[in-house]
Structure 1
Amino acid sequence: EHLFTSLEDLAQSPDVDAVYIASPNSLHFPQTRLFLRHKKHVICEKPLASNLQEVEAAIKTARENNVVLFEAFKTASLPNFLLLKQSFDKIGKLRKAFINYCQYSSRYQRYLDGENPNTFNPAFSNGSIMDIGFYCLASAVALWGEPRAVHATASLLESGVDGQGTVVLSYGDFDVTLHHSKVSDSAIPSEIQGEAGALVIEKISECQKVCFVPRGGKPQDLTQPQHINTMLYEAEEFARLVEANEVVHPGLEVSRITAKLLSEIRHQTGVVFPADSQPVA
């Protein structure tokens, strides 16, 4: 019934209430802002933008136009992630966490063969920390907020993006170590350690399984059933925000802090995107 040949025409259509943006990372901000300015609700794939400046501008635009902006970070809406947050009392005083997401990219061989896939192209604001490392970082922010300090290291590819890296977030009484990689696989889960035990999480992006291991005791499975399509829950949350016209919501602060940390991590590791030198009008 409807055919659009330009994003501008789509944004101007009175028949469109909301859009889902899943273009390359570098296009997230300009496309998101276009639709927000035309008073369309936007659910945008993570990362919301290339840097903190763009994220703050997007949030400001959403508020000015009284529409919902929502970063599609599916982990935060999963039943097992919400369960995880409610299970901290089981492990006592929090001491240490290890969040791990290392997955050999199907496009890495193309990169090694001399091709230029956007996965490893700084022009598209990409790389390991911006892709799967995002799940580790945003999960930590969703659980504990903004850290007191951040220290990051990474191995850069010739293209200029990171292939793998490690980030340490300091929260005072405890530290959170993030491991991310698109050039190697990992077979170990993530873990949150307390003085009374640990919570073990299988595949942080989807929280497939959550186990409580009491100190000196046997593992206890806490896992709740989840829909096979783990994107369902973020879609439901976005719909709830739109129906309630909840323009200001907690997810925006998670997005802002995560973007701030991503920008600092890239600064420490030497990853620079073209978007970093482009002014946000």
Structure 2
Amino acid sequence: GFGVGAPDQTVYSGGDSLVDEQFHLVIQTWGPDGLRLQVDDAEPVWVTDGVSRLPRAAVAMVFGDLSGGGARVAADLAEVRFYDEALVDAELDTIRAELADKHGLGQGVVVPPFSIIAQGFDADGRFFVTIESVAGVRYRLLYLSPEGGEWTEIASARAGGAELTLADPRDPGVAGFYLVVADAGGALPPLEPFAILGGGFSGPGQGYVVVQSVPGHTYVLLKKTALGVGEWVEVDRATADGPETTLTDPDATGPTAFYRVLGE
């Protein structure tokens, strides 16, 4: 919510709850047209009636609570900016992109609800969970002691594909509660020019190439048996989860073949 007094008036954002372990960008405007509140890329919400437009003397300004107390926000503030005039949409878009890039606000990565595929204990007695995931998104495994206290992050990883496994790295036999949360952590890093680091045969008729990669991006291996003839055929693709990615050709049996790798 965003409000001013004399008389008291508040505008509230609509949509889903914002208590979701994600970063959010909030833009608040108070001016001749009333109160305007926008969260992320949602449509702005306005209040125009009963809003004071009078100049203000020195006045207390409160963030994350009502001026009288009692409605605290359970969140951290990364940055607060003030402007002495209402900004036009183009200016707001520029600021939104700048803050998203600076603080990693998840621009360009949509994190849908995800399901647990499997969970349990490995052969050493350590807890693990496998979830549906979105490539490029970081997921965090949180732990809460049976005695209560705060949720504590014990493991995290950026997904390289449609499934991700997180495990408790501590000694076996730890009792407690576990929670997995998604953290977009900003847009995917940009796709960079990459080199082929190596290649060869891993077995009879099994060819492979190793390329430099950026986690979260997908790399595609294409093949031709003769240049200038026919179409390039996709033989493998993989979403990178590290600085190197291996692509394979399961049918490298011909006398000659040409390969190329594309990044997405």
Give TM-score scaled by structure 1 length. Answer: 0.20
Higher relative contact order structure (alpha carbons within 8 Å, sequence separation ≥ 6): 1
Q: Which has the higher strand share?
A: 2
Q: Which has the higher helix share?
A: 1
Indicate the structure (1 or 2) with the bigger Cα radius of gyration. 2
Give TM-score scaled by structure 2 length. Answer: 0.21
